Chains A and B, each alone.
Chain A
Amino acid sequence: MLLKLTHQTDLTYTDLISESVMELRMAPRQEQDQHRLSFTLAIGPPTSAYNYFDWLGNTVHWFTVASFHKQIRIVATSVVETDRPIPAPAGNADLWPAKPAATDYQTYDFCHFHGPVVDSPALRQLVEHVKARKGEPLGAVAMRLFDLIHERFTFKKGVTKATSPITDILEKGAGVCQDFTQLMIGAARLLGIPARYISGLVHPDASKYVGATETHAWCELLFPSIGWVGFDPANHRLVGANYVKVAIGRDYQDVAPNKGRYSGKVQESIDVAVHSEELKSIPPELAAERIQSLAIPTYPSGSMGYLDPNQQVEHQQQQQ
């Protein structure tokens, strides 16, 4: 599948801010079944962008804005070719419980609770309902967990927060794709199956998907014989060619598409729009990577009022 994805993020502030530093995880990953043919990152106010690979191999772009500004716009455009058949978790020889090879400590991070993925009695109760039996196919256990989450939990916005641990979705019975994903990861880890968080984009493919117009999240479970297999618990679908993987991690904290700090006492609002289309052929202007500038204004330092009436009264004393 040849996909063009546009991911626009607008950050607006109620007043001028200074000194923004921002990290982005927006460039699709290069994988065996997914090839990033082109990536263009446009940022405003105009600045330089740098990149590095984090410890999980995700591409991280980052930039700073040192002058006063009120708005930041980031447009990430990628052309990706995917070649991922719908997985069949049940069709392999792996049995439950799978024993990871003793020396393979690389999966340590995907086997242990961390951050929002926390252990809890409610999670243990949920896992008990999977009724995993020793010696049965691993795929069957995974599918039962997948189905159970679909039956028990409903997709609903505004119930949980970006920082919610999985106890929130367990308690409220509802959440968004991030909660579904982290819940499934927690349950899988409790079952001894290494599980990781995927942040990415999904091409709607005519049928209905939640999370199609925003960045999406799903998870991957490790099958010893075939490797990582993608499950999208929020949509109750197995991950095929219309999914574009951007970043992998232990949980949301490792993969947040944008993460930043700014100076100023203001309110921030964020607006994200994702658009995807299937291409017939590779566009001619294709470049491996481009960084561009957007005309978002900055303001001179004088525009920030420093003296206010209160300070005038208090000037005799040092600001303590």
Chain B
Amino acid sequence: MPRDLRRRLVSTVMTSLSALSVLVALVPLGLLLFFVAVQGAAAISLDFFTQTPRPVGEPGGGMGNAIVGTLILCGTAALIAVPIGVLSGMFVVEFPQSPLAPAVRFAADTLNGVPSIVVGIFVYAIAVEPTGGFSAMAGGIALGVMMIPLITRTTEELLRLVPASLREGALALGATRGRAVLTVVLPAALPGIVTGVMLALARVAGETAPLLFTAFGNRFWSTDLTEPIGALTLQVYAYAISPYDDWHRQAWAGALVLLALVLGCSLAARAATRRLERMHR
């Protein structure tokens, strides 16, 4: 075979292989979405949103309490993580010459890579053992710990995107640095930070491992932060590994609702991001 032809052939083969690898990734994605949609849709009903789990053998029931639980856990997590994340991100941008600034960025990156199960152990030690029991609060702290690095980094990036002229204008008018940042720079970056928070929420709403021994799960309605609380992910897990067909069906329904929640939240955030990008251009 002429050398030239062989080179072109190799090139074509390798290019096709790269296209094939995209397909290799998309096939499982398609299968997964397909199964969750089909199995979930077959099992879902109005009861699923309003009822609590039934004992074995009793058909029906739902995950209403777990859905509420997930929302409470996420809300608690956001209340903890948003102030810490936003302010620490602000620190990194405002005091870059401080030796603490690179340390914060490094810590945020590290925290982002800590396995979620390890966060669970940590929060068990600081919030479950001392208080003597599993609680929604502990679950919220665990999810909050996972959210913090995401928000710190997003805030940092977004504050950097705010044009320097805005800050300089405020400073020229005699504002102190804090005033300039809090009343001029932060509001300019706020829409982006909000979408960043939504992305972080979407990420932690799907977490199971850090809740296993913090929020623990609860089969009944509970909104008490000091009591164990159910979560969609925990309930899906409990049902998925059970030997009962009826519970398996419920698990698929739970997965569908969870996926809708998580993907809906992150898609909305991305759409907002896209609109913001266009505005800035």
Q: Do A and B interact with each other, yes or no? A: no
Chain B residues within CB distance 8 Å of chain A: none
Chain A residues within CB distance 8 Å of chain B: none
